[in-house]
Amino acid sequence: MDFCKSAFDALSVFLEGIIRQKCYVNYLNRDNTLNILIIGETGVGKSTWVNGTANYVEYGSLDAAQLSNDPKWKIPLRFTISDDHLNEQTIFVGSEGDENEQIKVGESSTMFPQSYEFMWGNRKVRFIDTPGIGDSRGLPQNKIHLANIFRYIEEHQFRNLSAIIILMKPNEKVFTPAFMYCISELFTHLPKRCAENVLFGFTATRPFHYQIAATLTPLQQFLATLKERQNVSLEVSKDTAFCFDNEAFRFLFAALPENGITFTNDARKHYAASWGQSVKETLRFLDRVSSLTPFGTTDMLSLNEARQYISVLTKPLALISDMIDATLEEYKAEKEMMEGIAAMFGAFLKKSAIMPFNDTIEKYIELSIQQYHLIISIIQALEHGSAEYMAEITRIPADIEHVKTLADWLERYKQQKHCIEIGAKDGCTASEMKRYFQKLLNLKHCGRYIKEMFECEKRGMEDQKKHTSSGAQSHSAGNQPSFFHGSMSWISRITG
């Protein structure tokens, strides 16, 4: 009798757990909305893909789209297309004056995250479009973009994400340092449990017969390294990879009567076939997303919060070495507490994040520093008194300051990485982090420094957000070279 009662109790607990889990999933999905976060390198075509998808779910064929006289667009954009006589014409989709969509070569055209919704059958699809990663303005701008993404998710109170799609070009033989940095930085902010919700999309794949081309090799190498280091399995397979092309969407708008562009019947047949393929792949993608269990955004925001706490702790940890002579024992005790709590935060990241830290950032910053040193040496080598010398010599003090700033970032990154690497075995939970951080704020000697650093970091991000939204640049327009390819074009101009 006792055995039967124990078995019944165990079964009740088991069923209660299943019901509780099912209720939680139903809670996440109660509004029947698919929330899809879009990540991609600058110039990959995220905005075009969003616009194209809105049309492919509405119209099953190009004929239906044209007969409707109601082509869909969610994001203003412009593109160039050639007619049958090879005459180029710029086509505008939507409003030309949208402040969130600014087109400058090498810079993300999307300034801040923005949501776009459309219906797919009886389900609402919400795309969260984000600024492009790998912005040519360099590390500061990319850090701002990533911070804005998490701020947007938090401010708009999205309870869950159905999927994260990483859009890439299909024929990249080697990932650039900027792209490696940004994709790694993204993974440092994603909890391990959302790994199955990460999907890969490839744009402009029609020339490659709607297949992944050269990009497959470096992507598989990156994911293999991730599995080896973090034991996180992300695979490129039929279930996780989707090949798109939006040339048919561009044709739909280019062929509008007001644009006055004519196309041959063969060209139209080509675009009609491309439209059909795009519809097929889009529906396959949405079917896959709808089959995934959404993950709560709380875990993702907790990782971001833990990383902020570690960042705040690094400078006081450095300061305490200079102050150790005064009230030695008190400072030692506070130092041990700070290191212990920082280690617990690090253990939380190691346990919970797909990548606890971005180990590509060191190389990325070093390349940026080398770039500035090269620019300074080229200016100094110019003939004194020449027009080129007089035009460029005034930039050297600012460039030296940029090098100092980057060197400071590099040192802080190494300190943060150390905190994560020595993470305590057990760590803490997301709910315990604030309580431990409050203990640090209450420290007799270092508490005020920690609070000042935390408030300063928050103010800095808010100031940068205002600065960016006003259209101002981080550095004056004529004096700040774009990182990597931008500065190389500047060097070529100076050296002839």
Asked whether residue 5 falls in the same domain as residue 122, the answer is no
Asked whether residue 428 falls in the same domain as residue 342, the answer is yes
C-alpha 78: how far from chain center: 23
433-475 residue pLDDT tens = 888 899 999 999 899 999 998 888 778 767 666 655 554 444 4
d(CA 329, CA 127): 54
Average pLDDT over residues 28-34: 68
Asked whether residue 91 falls in the same domain as residue 11, the answer is no
Asked whether residue 307 falls in the same domain as residue 437, the answer is yes
Q: In which domain, by residue range, is 465 found?
A: 300-495
pTM listed for this prediction: 0.75
217-262 residue pLDDT tens = 999 999 999 899 888 889 999 999 999 999 999 999 999 999 888 8
303-319 residue pLDDT tens = 888 888 888 888 888 78
Asked whether residue 339 falls in the same domain as residue 384, the answer is yes
Asked whether residue 308 falls in the same domain as residue 269, the answer is no
Asked whether residue 21 falls in the same domain as residue 37, the answer is no
Residue showing tokens 């034991």: 231
Q: Say what the pLDDT of residue 305 is.
A: 85
Number of domains comprising the chain: 3
Q: DSSP label at 15?
A: H
- Say if CB 436 and CB 344 are below 8 A apart: yes
Asked whether residue 79 falls in the same domain as residue 207, the answer is yes
Question: How many CA atoms, within 13 angstroms, populate the side-chain half-sphere of residue 222?
Answer: 23
Asked whether residue 378 falls in the same domain as residue 427, the answer is yes
Q: Say what the pLDDT of residue 290 is.
A: 97
**Domain stops at, among 293, 313, 337:** 293
- Name the band, by pLDDT with cuts 50, 70 and 90, for residue 169: very high
d(CA 237, CA 196): 12
Asked whether residue 404 falls in the same domain as residue 426, the answer is yes
Asked whether residue 390 falls in the same domain as residue 409, the answer is yes
- Beta-sheet pairing, 198-202 with 241-243: parallel
Asked whether residue 306 falls in the same domain as residue 334, the answer is yes
- Nearest CA-CA partner of 200 in 182, 223, 178, 180: 223
CATH number, domain with residue 51: 3.40.50.300
Q: How many CB atoms lie within 10 A of CB 355?
A: 22
| DSSP H helices in 136-215 | 139-155, 177-188
